[in-house]
Amino acid sequence: MNCDKKTMSCLERLVVIDFEASSLSEGSWPVEVGISWIERGELRSWASLIRPDAGWSMDHWSIASAAVHRIPLETLSAAAPAKEVAHALITLVAGKHLVSDAPTFERMWLSKLLAAAGHSRKPDIAEYNEITFSIFDGYALDMVYETLERTFVPHRAGPDSARLVKGWLKGAET
């Protein structure tokens, strides 16, 4: 993606995506998705828990992962179905470029979520650091990463994606 340095219009074409998952295994599946973006200079976020799709194996539920994100398996039975979450997500990110600080994992979980809704496309997700370094430099770049260092990582998809966008907003202020 090409961006002129430090332009808000460039940042407004990006959406940071984050997932919490059943585990880190190859057969794992998403339990929560969150996205954050900048709209008219303001942070916007959306997140949803995900009811496991019937095709997702419970063998890939990890108690250790659940301890990190603090989302009990029982809570997911009342969550929106994977297909519904996928359709909402597709609508929200239409025309935007997806970015993540862990694109390999996010691609895997996004692919599983989309497949549950009957979509076979392979999502393109850019790496947060690469995008950030292409937009910011000098003091502005320092401010992005200082903001990230000083902000707690809650391990919940919405707040985690918002944390990364807050870094960009801080960099854009300078």
Please choose, from the candidates 102, 141, 159, the residue with its C-alpha nearest in 3D space to the C-alpha of residue 125: 102
Residue 3 pLDDT more than 70? no
Sorted by where each begins, the domain ranges of the chain are: 8-173
With 0.85 as the threshold, say if the pTM is over it: yes
pLDDT per position as a tens digit, 143-174: 999 999 999 999 999 999 999 999 999 999 98
pLDDT per position as a tens digit, 18-50: 999 999 999 999 999 999 999 999 999 999 999
Residue 6 pLDDT more than 60? no
pLDDT reported for residue 8: 84
pLDDT reported for residue 5: 53
Which CATH number applies to 8-173?
Answer: 3.30.420.10
**pLDDT band for position 116 (50/70/90)?**
very high
Which tokens go with 164?
A: 């990364």
- Listed in sequence order, the residues at least 6 apart from 106 whose beta carbon sits closer than 8 Å to its beta carbon are 17, 18, 19, 98, 100, 125
**pLDDT band for position 12 (50/70/90)?**
very high
Please choose, from the candidates 33, 9, 46, the residue with its C-alpha nearest in 3D space to the C-alpha of residue 114: 33
DSSP H/E element including 139: helix 138-150
Please give the Cα distance from 32 to 69 (Å, whole number).
9
pLDDT reported for residue 120: 86
